[in-house]
Amino acid sequence: MANESPSKPMYERIFEALRQQIESKHYQVGDRVPSEKELGDEYNVSRITSKKALELLANEGYIVRQPGRGSFVAEPSKPGAAAGSGVSNFQRGRNTSGKLLIGLIITDFGDSYGTGLVYGMEEASRNADSYLVVRRTFGIPALEEQAIKGLLELGVDGLIIFPAQGEFFNAEILKLVIERFPFVLVDRHLKGISAGSISTDNVAAAKAGAEYLFGLGHHQIGFLTQPPADTTAIEERIEGFIQAHAEHGIPVDRELWMENITATLPSAYTDENKAKDIEKIKEHLLKYPQITALFAVEYNIARLAVSAVRELNLNVPDDISVICFDCPDTNGIYQLTHLRQNQEEMGRMAFEHVLKLKEGDAVPGKIQLEASLIIGESTGPARKK
């Protein structure tokens, strides 16, 4: 550090010092590197500065970061390859079938979202003369860990993971990254780790949905979501919704938002919980009668919103418009206005990328696919006040 230019930012100097220690094998693969606090104390800098240095290391693929556990040295990867590529030394079962087996770990799937993903993956597996093995986790991290371990014991050649919702990713995913086991994330990415992901461009999609509502005269829009809890897909939809307001000069009124819808989470989808959330939405609409539209981050939340509006003897869309992400094909029956994700393409690409990683080929670190705005029967011009 003594020979460093004093004009160089401290976070960059710390980054370069740690990088040199990793490259010289002072820190070995899997070793924990100093925390933000430890680096702050060592270099007499703020945690913001030390955090930025660690983020640079993670972005360059030198470390993987796991909130609540620390930062660990990653296995070196090929330039341009996402972490997880290459031949793995991971301890796992032996696949003696002669066919490639790819494991899919998914929270759950249904008509509105998930089935299309599985369809795309299964088609890709058929074209590659290989097989897809599926395990659901219902959004429970412990079941996700069990699924990873179980599929590895089965001898799968790669994994596709739809991560459980929540703030922290589990230790088994961290091991996959460190050991460079071929895997790809779908629907969302995980902060602090260098792993390939394929998802929707949620920011652009949410902007398009909000702008469509603006065009109908809606400015007082309620935003309905489960607690974001560091789930990147939801955070990006919130970001897109806010960006649309900013770009059109429309103030964001977060009092109109509800971020406590929990009945649609995979582990809580019961009639009792749905009834409770419908009551919460009804109370919210009565408290804020100026709301003319509701933007739901997913289809099942939109269904709760439609039920709440109707139970208040109001009409969708004459009194309140409703828009959401995804909607099942209803064969001409009532369909919600929605942002349709390209699930089949997402699933196909995820499967093909895992096969490439299995062969040691490089794949892009992050791919985002465009969503389509589908106009249904749940949106119309804003009511006059």
CATH number of domain containing 288: 3.40.50.2300
Same domain, 126 and 178: yes
* CATH classification at residue 61: 1.10.10.10
Bridge-based pairing of strands 101-106 and 131-136 is parallel
Residues 52 and 146 in one domain: no
Residues 157 and 251 in one domain: no
160 lies in the same domain as 37: no
Structural domain span for residue 149: 101-199+345-369
Is 81 within the bounds of a domain?
A: no
Per-residue pLDDT of the chain (385 residues; tens, 9 = 90+): 444 445 678 888 999 999 999 999 899 877 889 998 999 999 999 888 888 898 888 888 888 876 666 888 887 654 444 444 444 445 556 665 678 999 999 988 887 788 999 999 999 999 999 999 999 988 888 889 999 999 999 999 999 999 876 555 677 888 888 888 999 999 988 776 778 899 999 999 999 999 999 999 999 999 999 887 657 889 999 999 999 999 999 999 999 999 999 998 876 778 899 999 999 999 999 999 999 999 999 999 999 999 999 999 999 999 999 999 999 876 666 799 999 999 999 999 999 999 999 998 988 888 999 999 999 999 999 987 5
The structural domain count of the chain equals 3
- Judging by beta carbons within 10 Å of its beta carbon (0-12, 13-18, 19+), is residue 133 exposed, middle or buried? middle
CB 63, CB 55: distance < 8 Å: no
Q: Is 319 exposed, middle or buried (0-12, 13-18, 19+ CB in 10 A)?
A: middle
Helix (H, G, I), strand (E, B) or coil at 372: strand
For residue 165, the model assigns a pLDDT of 64
For residue 135, the tally of other CB atoms under 10 A from its CB is: 16
Evaluate if pTM is beyond 0.85. no
